[in-house]
Structure 1
Amino acid sequence: MSIRVRLGAGSGVELLMSAAAIADPDWRGVFHTGQSSYAAARAAGGSRLLRDAARFGRFGWINLAGPLTALTGVWTVDALRAQVAATDPVELRLMLTGARRHQLRSRLDDATIRAGVAGDRRARAAWRAALGETPLQVTPWLLSTEPALITRTCLAVIDGLPHAPRATPLPRIRQRLAEVGPERLLGEVATGINYRTGALEDVVLVSSPGVAPILVVVDEVDRTVILHPPLADGVADDAGAHLREFGRAVGDDTRIRLLHTLRLAPATLPQLCEALDSPRTTLLHHLALLRSAGLIQLEVASGEANVYSLRAEGFDAFAQAATAFPVA
């Protein structure tokens, strides 16, 4: 079955990515615009706005990208606000806690998901048994707060965060889709993610300057949303820029340990967490940076655990960037 690819962008997506960076200190240092988003939010709303954004966690804000990109039309901040305001508070809390995610829906029925979000202990135990640490990505505030207050706080953050309309960066990617087709385009924007046959059918590619230099993937039940940096306009290769990107990727002890671990054998995320004695939330942003630099790859298969491995081509590119860098 061929892959169906749709394209989109919008200021509402950029606001969600800014909120995700503000909410999570680890990811604030990953996104190129993370620190500037945090500084702008502090200037606009002080500690209260920062605290309210953090209550949703990175996972909560990213989860809203799914329903936003399901809307027709341009995904503006106004469209995001209108959608949040119009959504039933109970349903909004379910969205924020990841109830639309394929990983959750493929292992738990709707009643167990709803009961877990509402606070049922047996249901939450079923979550942990099925998904390991995944429920820990949901903030305690989302699980313990009345849905109506969650809605009001969400709207207050959307209204409070500074944002500016951005030109929709779609002409280049539309041209590329027409030139190479959906499968090859997917490989170009999602470098380092290999989807096996049947693992991907309906895809929304969202061009977002706010996620650079990594990808953000929202795996909903009926489609996959991939937020990616806009395609470059065919500028000449810059050895210095490539070397800086590689240097950023390997300039951390945890990421070096991940590379050493994967050199021994491919591994799933739970296996890496055990090998490095680190929680999932800590390793995910390190893995994202290594993947964005092309040093590792992710194998995605429907119904199976995702597997990380080293990417030999990435290390070849690293060596070429170092060799090409002018020293005199």
Structure 2
Amino acid sequence: MSVRIATDGSATTVTASPRTLTVCVVITTEERAEPSWVPQLEDCSPALRRALERVGLQAGELWLHLLGIGLERGAPTAAELVDAVAELAPAELRRHLVGVHVPAWRALVGADTLEAAARGDRNADAVLLADECYYGGRARDSLSLLLPLSVAQTKKRVADVLRRFHNEVFAAREDELVAQLERDVDAKRARSLSPDALITAATRGYVYEPEPELGRVVLVPHLAARPWILLCQHRTTRLICYAAEPESAPHAQEVRARALKLGRALGDEKRVLVLARLAAGEAGLAELAESAGLAKSTVHHHLVLLRDAGLVGMRGNDQGYRYFLRAEGATESSGVLGDLLAPR
């Protein structure tokens, strides 16, 4: 499911591959904003809970670093990806996990440091865990329980979680979920859009700025962490994991759902402050955090809700991201309220 497009004389492939992300381990302990197939931690078997705890319950960033394995295997099924991870040499799996194949991390902390950490060098491990930018600022959450282990023990824990999650949670619903993803892919591919416009449309407002070192962009729909966009790199490929659209519903039901998103977005004083700041011009995460008097992680959560409501867009790449008010946001919001309140 790919479209090959030549842009400015260089080859860029925009691909929608539904199976690549389907095996990501996703368990939640948070209250749901919308119906989801993702299980609550308390509903998992004791064995799966223990396996998750041994890797880290906040280790979400870790699993994104395995997407490159699926990419290299040609977007396998979930079971095939689990097997592929199990077949990898322990040292190579650890290289994937620490980001040896991620250009951004190589530039940030150095290829030598990453290779040393992959081998189990404790000094290199400490450098990675102390870096506030490495792993998107989530290195301790994602790697602190794995880096102290031997290379073989690291593989055993990661492979065990993947297989248990697939067997106990995902396998029974794989056909249903993949069918939803494939319908989303077909709908996106049917639209006559340029590569840039396709990315922005699929992600509901992310304006991707090309990175010279990455010659390919892969769009991956997911149902695991809606409405989040999950961004990662693998070798010379940028992966953009976007939230697949929910299954179509009757018009009145869709209008109510959109109105609820808008209400959630505007129902917090700090989010209103963020919107007011963006009305004065685009800003980065640190600027927004300073103006709102909040931690960057908290502002990031607010921005996810504002983006999901269609009020805020994002532009940039790993060199930096900026947020802005979507010009269409106010008009679309007025339309939602008009549809909601229209006489029936």
SS of the equivalent of 2:16 reads strand
For residue 219 of structure 1, give the secondary structure of its aligned residue in structure 2: strand
- Aligned AA (1:223): T
Q: Which has the higher helix share?
A: 1
Residue type at the aligned position of 2:23:
L
The count of residues paired between Structure 1 and Structure 2 equals: 319
| Partner in structure 2 of residue 286 of structure 1 | 302
Q: Which amino acid aligns with 1:170?
A: E
- d(CA) in 2 for partners of 1:196 and 1:99? 23
Amino acid at match of 1:15: V
- Alpha-carbon distance change, 31 to 82 in structure 1, aligned in 2, over 3 angstroms: farther
1:258 is matched with: 274
Aligned to 2:123: 120
1:196 aligns with 2:209: yes
Instruction: Write the deviation string for residues 288-307 of structure 1: whole angstroms up to 9, x where unpaired.
Output: 33223222111115x73211
Q: Cα 1:156–1:253, aligned 2, differ >3 Å: closer, same or farther?
A: farther
Q: Which residue in the other structure is 1:177 paired with?
A: 189
* 1:322 equivalenced with 2:337 (yes/no): yes
Q: Report the equivalent of 2:111.
A: 110
Q: Could you tell me the percent identity over the aligned residues? A: 21
Q: Residues of 2 paired with 1:267 and 1:236: CA distance?
A: 37
TM-score normalised over the length of structure 1? 0.80
Taking a change above 3 Å as real, the CA distance of residues 244 and 75 of structure 1, as seen in their structure-2 partners, is farther
Secondary structure of the 2:131 match is: helix
Alignment of 1:60-99 (within 5 A): 60-72=62-74, 74-99=75-100
Distance 1:241 1:234 in 2: 11
| Partner AA of 2:341 in structure 1 | P
Distance of 1:265 and 1:96 partners within structure 2: 37
| Letter matched to residue 13 of structure 1 | L
- RCO higher in 1 or 2 (8 Å CA, sep ≥ 6)? 1
Write the letter of the residue equivalent to 1:324: D
CA distance in 2, matches of 1:193, 1:273: 20
CA distances 1:139-189 after superposition (whole Å, capped 9, x unpaired): 311332222212111122122221122243325534642541452322321
Aligned to 1:8: 17
User: Counterpart amino acid of 1:187?
Assistant: T
TM-score by length of 2: 0.76
Q: Secondary structure, in 3 states, of the residue corresponding to 1:107?
A: helix
Q: Which amino acid aligns with 2:333?
A: F
Counterparts of 2:132 and 2:245, CA distance in 1: 40
Contact 1:173 1:231 in 2 (8 A): no
CA distance in 1, matches of 2:149, 2:32: 29
Contact 2:199 2:206 in 1 (8 A): no
Structure 2 counterpart of 1:306, which letter?
Y
Structure 1 unaligned blocks of 5 or more: none
Q: CA RMSD, aligned part only?
A: 3.5
